Structure 1
Amino acid sequence: MEARVRALETILTQKGLIDPKAIDAIVETYETKIGPRNGARVVAKAWAEPDFADWLKRDATAAIASLGYTGRQGEHMRAVFNDAETHNLVVCTLCSCYPWSVLGLPPVWYKAPAYRSRAVIDPRGVLAEFGVTLPAGRKIRVWDSTAELRYLVVPERPAGTDGLDQEALADLVTRDAMIGTGLALEPEGRA
């Protein structure tokens, strides 16, 4: 499939119908800005508004849709919340089910067989490869996305963020934190 895509892109580029740099910019936008920004706003609202967090726990699909983030690949959602006892990690072992409307395009590694199998077999090792080292006593719960149900990890809110508004909170939330392969960022000025 990758070879076919490259061949098609080469032909379209040679005919002057597409600009590879424009394609790269579009993909980058969807991978890092549009989709992940939607999810970051969901997380920030949950951190800032306990009633919304409760709704997100009970009916993530409706809570997320209330913010306008709906569509294919995100119509049935469940939010799982990290806390001091449990860290959540999302994988799709059969294919690459992923909530596009909330997280944008899936990262290449999410679809890779190595991630899909190792996340289940050795989640602590996978997290370490992403630079996430959790306390030995913290349980890791792996959630397997399907065509019927996709997951959003709500990372723990970093300390020292009480005075931040929702936009500033959203800036601390990464795509990887919402998959569970990362943590929320610390606010600037904190170690």
Structure 2
Amino acid sequence: MSHIHDGHAPGHSHLEEIEARVRALETLLVEKGYVEPAALDALVDTYETKVGPRNGARVVARAWVDDAFRDWLARDATAAIASLGYGGRQGEHMRAVFNRPGEHHMVVCTLCSCYPWPVLGLPPVWYKSAPYRSRAVSEPRAVLGEFGVVLAASTRIRVWDSTAEVRYLVVPMRPEGTDGWSEERLASIVSRDSMIGTGLPDPRVVAAP
């Protein structure tokens, strides 16, 4: 069976070929006047910065600093997330799952690539790959190890299967040593992968206070 390395699915040359075809198609469409480069840039920016992981990071950071919001997020994630202005297509039915000592969550879509776009943006290529979709269920600890997430043997790993009916957001544990940090600073250490469960927040990668 194929393996996942460094957070990416195998078959890099195939992916590079697809990316090259996409770039060629984009160039052709622009040259023929079917699309405007500025419109494409705006679309990419929307999904990378507005409808992207930054949104989810703000949700997580709010849950870390606001107990009432955290409770609301646990009860009704869709409504709690919408209260921060994030919602819409692919985010209609959300559920938040919370990492805690002795328990770690990760998300997969075994059938296709169901993914909470409003809070995580576009799904990464590896999330849609067959190796991840199968191995995340059958050997989650090994998959996490390949992403650099090494958990204690006693830690329970729960795998959630995202569907068209419900999509999941992993709320990672707040790292030690972040007491007194602002909500904005906390959000800067929350990565996309940590909200899928294939990563952990890293206080070393942080914006200035």
TM-score (norm 2): 0.81
State which of 92, 116, 128 in structure 2 corresponds to 1:75: 92
The answer as to whether partners of 1:174 and 1:184 remain within 8 angstroms in 2 is: yes
Distance change (3 Å), C-alpha of 1:11 and 1:130: same
Superposed displacement of residue 117, structure 1: 0.7
Q: 1:180 aligns to what?
A: 197
Structure 1 residues 109 and 81: alpha-carbon distance in aligned structure 2, compared to 1, 3 A threshold:
same
For residue 69 of structure 1, give the secondary structure of its aligned residue in structure 2: coil
Q: 1:46: which partner in 2?
A: 63
- Structure 2 unaligned blocks of 5 or more: 1-17
**How many residues matched?**
189
Please say if residues 90 and 145 of structure 1, whose CA atoms lie closer than 8 Å, have aligned partners that are also in contact: yes
Q: CA separation of 1:102/1:25 partners in 2, compared to 1, >3 Å: closer, same or farther?
A: same
Distance in 2 between the 1:140 and 1:99 partners?
Answer: 21
Once the 2 structures are TM-superposed, how far is the Cα of residue 15 of structure 1 from its aligned partner?
Answer: 3.1
Please tell me the root mean square deviation across aligned C-alpha atoms, in Å. Answer: 2.6
- 2:154 equivalent in structure 1: 137
Alignment partner of 1:102 is 2:102: no
Most deviating of 66-75 and 26-35: 26-35
Partner AA of 2:47 in structure 1: Y
Q: For 2:31 and 2:115, how far apart are their aligned partners in 1?
A: 33
User: Equivalent residue of 1:142, what SS?
Assistant: strand
Structure 1 vs Structure 2: percent identity of aligned residues? 70
Distance change (3 Å), C-alpha of 1:12 and 1:37: same
When normalised by structure 1's length, the TM-score is 0.88
**Aligned with residue 172 of structure 2, among 155, 165, 169:** 155
| Residues in 1 aligned to 2:124 and 2:45: alpha-carbon distance in whole angstroms | 10
Shift of 1:62: 0.7
- What are the superposed Cα offsets for residues 141-173 of structure 1, whole Å, 9 maximum, x if unpaired? 000000010000000100011100100110110
Tell me the CA shift for residue 16 of structure 1: 5.9
- Given candidates 127, 133, 141, the residue that maps to 1:116 is 133
Question: What is the CA deviation profile of residues 58-86 of structure 1, one whole-angstrom value per residue up to 9, with x for unaligned ones?
Answer: 11011101111010000100000001111
Bigger drift between 8-17 and 55-64 goes to: 8-17
Report if the CA contact (8 A) 2:74-2:97 is conserved.
yes
Name the SS of the counterpart of 2:157 in structure 1: strand
Given the superposition, is the C-alpha separation of residues 124 and 28 from structure 1 closer, same or farther in structure 2, using an over 3 Å criterion? farther
> What secondary structure, in the 3-state scheme, does the structure 1 residue paired with 2:134 have?
helix
In the alignment, structure 1 segments of 5+ residues that lack a partner are none
Question: 1:24 Cα shift?
Answer: 7.4
Kindly indicate whether the alpha-carbon contact (under 8 Å) linking 1:119 and 1:142 is maintained by their aligned counterparts in 2.
yes
